[in-house]
């Protein structure tokens, strides 16, 4: 390990890490509500909104994310829309991420027993009420594992932003490698930092699952007896 | 002889001595040249060269990007890897009695590949820097070309020199020493790091940057062959001048000696100049190696 080089390029790697965190947080913050909205829209089965949502999902799910990023940064200026590298990356990654995320969320919603819908409807509850009070609480435990996995994939996908001129963690590691010709040190550093970021999300998943499981755990016999009294 | 005359004689002799010495040196050089005869390659080399640590015995494994014309690129008509440095690698392999096997990969994988013992030889002319010359991950050969940091801009920017580019949007390839040098020389410029030269040139065309820093050989190639070459112009004079060479597997010092010997021969017999001239409009990068002492 060459500590002199590490000291020289450490600040640039740190800035790259901050850019990666910013890109991850903003992309997830945009993609999550859009993905949830698309999933709910598709679950309504109302053709005039569900079909366009399905078309959106399938177009962006089937296109390579890199192609979308290249289009947003290199092609849009040809149409008069000149985005900064970071804005283009956020736009491209959010569009693609929302398409994937909607499928993860829709899977969770669809996994809730259809009898729950029918029973709630028979009780006269409105669709928003059914979704909010009956379906979503049961779907969340099912959604958490695929959602966090998707979030981890999206964090790693931010490395594509280096190809549209964003100085993210991958970009700065590649830059340092190209200048110093030290092929391992900076890539290993970047890998370790990605592990930390993704690891934090994996820990969040464990915490969230544990919390949901605790909330759904049957009350103890003592509690039940106390309730009966 | 008067004292004054004696002084004049001594002074004249003192003044004439250096000229006499220079004249004697010139005579020696001339005699040496006559004895050597015409420039010719050094032929007393091992045949075959005993290379002990080739990645695959009997083969010269070469890592190349295939994306840096005119040195290494894929011929669109044939789909074959070609270029001046591809031919140079083939020539080196042939003269060492080895079959040449090319492995195409991104630049980011070239040096890790060398360090991981996946190739014997790589780099389509990598510029010398203190860090690279001192690297333990690979060995650099003697120079194959001289290159320099220049830039390309659109004619409509009106930029002709680097002084006029202060505060402008500067583009370049991430990690390239030409871009890094330009960023240092223009601290007020707003830099945008592109992943490759084609992307940098699209950024220039889109107006996302005002100029793109790159090496002189690539700049001349772009100005000669880019689809929008009529809109482009060179920015100079050069910020820095570099020697460029090939990279050798760090476990193979015997290959470094062999390649350096052959490169010296190719300079002498004109092979290097001919290979460059076959693919580029100018052979100046070889002709001007004398400017940096080679």
Query: What is the domain-level CATH number for residue B213?
Result: 3.40.190.10
* pLDDT score of A175 more than 70: yes
CA distance B54 to B121: 10
Per the CB < 8 A criterion, the answer to whether A77 and A11 are in contact is no
Q: Which residue among B112, B176, B203 sits closest to A183, beta carbon to beta carbon?
A: B112
Mean pLDDT of chain B: 89
- Residues B105, B249 share a domain: yes
Per the CB < 8 A criterion, the answer to whether A82 and B206 are in contact is yes
- Residues B225, B170 share a domain: yes
* pLDDT score of B235 more than 90: yes
* pLDDT score of B145 more than 80: yes
Task: Pick the residue from chain B with its C-alpha nearest to A5.
Answer: B131
CA distance A152 to chain B (A): 24
pLDDT of residue A121: 87
Range name among A52-66, B18-32, B174-188 with the lowest pLDDT average: B18-32
**Chain-chain contact of A174 with B175 (C-beta, under 8 angstroms):** yes
**Chain-chain contact of A182 with B175 (C-beta, under 8 angstroms):** no
Q: Which residue among B138, B175, B206 sits closest to A179, beta carbon to beta carbon?
A: B175
CATH class of A3-228: mainly alpha
Kindly tell me the burial class for residue B19, based on how many C-beta atoms sit within 10 Å of its own C-beta (0-12, 13-18, 19 or more). exposed
CA distance A178 to A183: 8
pLDDT of residue A202: 93
CA distance B283 to A100: 53
Q: What number of other Cβ atoms are within 10 A of residue B222's Cβ?
A: 22
Give percent above pLDDT 90 in chain A.
Answer: 62
pLDDT of residue A6: 85
Q: Which residue among A78, A165, A180 sits closest to B193, beta carbon to beta carbon?
A: A165
Chain A contact set for B193 (CB, 8 A):
165, 167, 171, 175
Helices (H), chain A: 3-44, 47-62, 65-70, 85-111, 114-122, 127-129, 136-157, 169-180, 185-216, 221-228
Which residues are paired to B151 by β-bridges? Answer: B213, B235
Within a domain: B219 = yes
- Compute the average pLDDT of residues A171-188: 83
Q: Which residue has the tokens 């003592």?
A: A222
Of A76-85, B17-26, B104-113, give the range with the top mean pLDDT. Answer: A76-85
| Total domains present in chain B | 2
- Residues B193, B230 share a domain: yes
* pLDDT score of A227 more than 60: no
- CB of B131 within 8 Å of any CB in chain A? yes
* pLDDT score of A70 more than 60: yes
Within a domain: B106 = yes
DSSP codes, B199-239: HHHHHHHHTS-SEEEEEHHHHHHHHHH-TTGGGEEEEBS-S
Within a domain: B14 = no
CA distance B115 to B247: 11
Q: In sequence order, which residues have a C-beta less than 8 Å from that of residue A31 and are 6 or more positions away?
A: A93, A94, A97, A98, A101, A154
- Compute the average pLDDT of residues A205-210: 90
**pLDDT band of A117, cuts 50, 70, 90:** confident
- CB of A71 within 8 Å of any CB in chain B? no
CA distances from B43 to A97, A164, B40, B58, B124 (A): 63, 50, 8, 22, 26
pLDDT of residue A56: 96
ipTM: 0.73
CA distance A165 to A85: 6
**What is the DSSP code (8-state) at residue B137?**
S
CA distance B76 to chain A (A): 22
* pLDDT score of B1 more than 60: no
**For residue range B185-234, what is the model confidence (pLDDT) as tens digits?**
999 999 999 988 888 999 999 999 999 999 998 898 889 888 889 999 99
CA distance A20 to A22: 5
- Residues B115, B92 share a domain: yes
pLDDT of residue B132: 85
Mean pLDDT of chain A: 89
Q: What is the dihedral of CA A196, A201, A207, A213, to 10 degrees?
A: -150
**What is the DSSP code (8-state) at residue A218?**
P
Within a domain: B199 = yes
Per the CB < 8 A criterion, the answer to whether A202 and A148 are in contact is yes
Sequence ranges of the domains in chain A: 3-228
Per the CB < 8 A criterion, the answer to whether B122 and B65 are in contact is no
- CB of B67 within 8 Å of any CB in chain A? no
Q: Between B287 and B116, whose confidence is greater?
A: B287
**pLDDT band of B274, cuts 50, 70, 90:** very high
**Chain-chain contact of B194 with A165 (C-beta, under 8 angstroms):** yes
Q: What number of other Cβ atoms are within 10 A of residue B273's Cβ?
A: 16
* pLDDT score of B21 more than 70: no
Task: Phi first, then psi: give them for residue B210, nearest 5 degrees.
Answer: -90, -30
- Residues B121, B90 share a domain: yes
- Residues B99, B122 share a domain: yes
**pLDDT band of A219, cuts 50, 70, 90:** low
pLDDT of residue A215: 78
> Among B208, B226, B241, which residue terminates a domain?
B241
pLDDT of residue A12: 92
- Residues B94, B201 share a domain: no
CA distances from B28 to B16, B17, B21, B31, B33 (A): 18, 16, 10, 5, 9
- Compute the average pLDDT of residues B1-14: 70
Q: What number of other Cβ atoms are within 10 A of residue A86's Cβ?
A: 18
- The model's pTM is 0.74
Range of the domain at B273: 59-146+244-292
Chain A contact set for B107 (CB, 8 A):
178
- Residues B130, B64 share a domain: yes
């Amino acid at each position: 390990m060459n500590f002199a080089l590490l000291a020289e390029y450490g600040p640039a790697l740190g800035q790259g890490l901050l850019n990666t965190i910013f890109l991850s947080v903003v992309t997830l913050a945009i993609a999550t509500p859009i993905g949830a909205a698309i999933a709910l829209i598709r679950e309504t089965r109302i053709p005039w909104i569900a079909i366009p949502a399905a078309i959106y999902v399938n177009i962006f799910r089937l296109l390579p994310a890199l192609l979308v990023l290249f289009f947003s940064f290199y092609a849009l200026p040809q149409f008069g829309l000149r985005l900064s590298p970071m804005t283009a990356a956020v736009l491209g990654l959010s569009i693609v991420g929302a398409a994937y995320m909607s499928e993860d969320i829709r899977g969770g919603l669809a996994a809730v027993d259809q009898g729950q819908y029918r029973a709630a409807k028979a009780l006269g509850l409105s669709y928003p009420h059914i979704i909010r009070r009956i379906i979503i609480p049961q779907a969340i435990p099912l959604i958490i594992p695929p959602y966090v996995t998707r979030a981890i994939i999206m964090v790693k996908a931010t490395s594509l932003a280096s190809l549209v001129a964003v100085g993210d963690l991958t970009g700065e590691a590649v830059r340092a490698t190209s200048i110093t010709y030290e092929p391992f040190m900076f890539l290993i550093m970047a890998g370790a930092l990605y592990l930390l970021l993704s690891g934090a999300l994996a820990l969040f998943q464990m915490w969230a699952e544990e919390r949901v499981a605790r909330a759904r755990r049957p009350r103890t016999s003592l509690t039940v007896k106390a309730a009966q009294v | 002889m008067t004292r004054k005359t004696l002084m004049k004689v001594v002074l004249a002799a003192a003044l004439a001595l250096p000229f006499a010495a220079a004249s004697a040196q010139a005579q020696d050089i001339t005699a040496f040249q006559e004895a050597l005869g015409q420039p010719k390659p050094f032929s007393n080399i091992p045949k075959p060269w005993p290379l002990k640590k080739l990645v695959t015995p009997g083969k010269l494994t070469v890592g190349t990007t295939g994306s840096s014309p005119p040195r290494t690129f894929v011929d669109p008509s044939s789909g074959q890897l070609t270029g001046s440095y591809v031919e140079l690698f083939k020539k080196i392999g042939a003269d060492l009695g080895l079959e040449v096997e090319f492995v195409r990969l991104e630049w980011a994988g070239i040096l890790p590949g060398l360090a991981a013992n996946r190739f014997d030889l790589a780099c389509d002319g990598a510029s010398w820097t203190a860090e690279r010359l001192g690297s333990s991950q690979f060995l650099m050969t003697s120079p194959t070309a001289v290159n320099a940091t220049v830039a390309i801009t659109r004619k409509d920017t009106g930029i002709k020199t680097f002084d006029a580019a202060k505060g402008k949007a500067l583009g370049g390839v991430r990690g390239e020493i030409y871009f890094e040098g330009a960023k240092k020389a223009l601290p007020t410029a707003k830099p945008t790091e592109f992943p490759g030269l084609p992307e940098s040139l699209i950024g220039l065309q889109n107006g996302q940057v005002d100029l793109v820093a790159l090496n002189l050989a690539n700049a001349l190639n772009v100005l000669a062959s880019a689809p929008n070459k009529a809109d482009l112009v060179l920015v100079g004079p050069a910020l820095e001048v570099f020697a460029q060479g090939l990279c050798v597997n760090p476990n193979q010092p015997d290959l470094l000696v062999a390649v350096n010997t052959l490169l010296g021969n190719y300079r002498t017999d004109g092979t290097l100049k001919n290979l460059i001239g076959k693919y580029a409009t100018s052979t100046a990068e070889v002709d001007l190696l004398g400017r940096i002492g080679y």
